[in-house]
Amino acid sequence: MTEDNELEQFEDIVLRIEKIVRQLEEGHLSLKESLVMYEEAKSLSEKANSLLNQAENLLKPRIEA
pLDDT digits 0-9 by tens, 21-57 = 999 999 999 999 999 999 999 999 999 999 999 888 8
Q: How many domains does the chain have?
A: 1
The verdict on pTM exceeding 0.85 is: no
Confidence of residue 2 (pLDDT cuts 50, 70, 90): low
What value does the mean pLDDT take over residues 4-28? Answer: 94
> What local confidence, expressed as pLDDT, does residue 21 receive?
97
In Å, how far are 16, 30, 64 from 48, measured between CA atoms? 11, 26, 24
Q: What is the domain range of residue 19?
A: 3-64
In Å, how far are 24, 34, 36, 51 from 31, measured between CA atoms? 10, 5, 9, 30
**CB-based contact 51:10 (threshold 8 Å):** yes
d(CA 17, CA 34): 13
